[in-house]
Amino acid sequence: MFTQRSEGWQAAGAAQPSDAVALPLDLPSQGAGFAEQFAGVRAEVERFIADGGSASAQQLSPEAWRVRQQLGAGSVDLSAVPPDRQAFVEEMLPHAQAAAARLGVTPDLVLAHAALESGWGRKPLTRGDGGNSHNLFGIKADARWRGEVAASLTTEFIHGQKQSRVEPFRAYPDYRAAFDDYADLLASNPRYRAALGVGGDARAFAEALARGGYATDPDYAGKLAGLAGQFRKGMR
């Protein structure tokens, strides 16, 4: 369904459990009590996302509300980003923060996804006239799409083999619309439910997208998780 338009970023580290969210919760750090409490907090945040963050917001527990605030703010370490890519991060960060808050993940994961699909904004999907489609996530225009369409050459993996083909992609008036549509897609499609509410767990987010069929590249999860790690090197 989706295209893969990235360079060869390598996987960073072994897979981690999907509930290993790196958030400073005031909960016990181990044992059955922690597992039960964490599962409850995560379920609350997921319901918040599913409800669009409206009425359910007033019903969140203090722990879940704190998680919600932390996810919305997030942190990206620009010192860990190569200088020639910092302009891309600075421009996209506000949009990534808004999308991340809706998805229950940290902004660095959304930024990494945009960077992976667009080559840090250097390999954009273009319109027929050569203009910018603002499609940073390689989202194709299926039969349900009612917006503008941009036909673009892309690389797909078919039966394990790379193939170049022209495919229809969604086009947006600006980057804000692109990030909004991206968040809508992940939040509404049950195939990507496991990617919601994972906080800063890059491996869980990447593997959930790969299992959901976001891209045809067999190494997609490793590339996305590895790229997300680039934002955090300076914070270790």
For residue 204, give the nearest of 6, 9, 14, 49 by alpha carbon.
14
Determine contact, residues 109/195, Cβ cutoff 8 Å: no
Q: Which of 108, 181, 207, 217 is catalytic?
A: 181
- Measure the CA–CA gap between 136 and 227, rounded to whole angstroms: 15
- Backbone φ, ψ for residue 132 (5° rounding): -75, 125
Q: Which of 19, 46, 156, 180 is catalytic?
A: 156
- Measure the CA–CA gap between 5 and 8, rounded to whole angstroms: 10
- Measure the CA–CA gap between 35 and 42, rounded to whole angstroms: 10
- Measure the CA–CA gap between 131 and 185, rounded to whole angstroms: 24
Whether residue 156 lies in the annotated active site: yes
For residue 222, give the nearest of 212, 209, 232 by alpha carbon.
209
Residues designated as active site: 156, 181
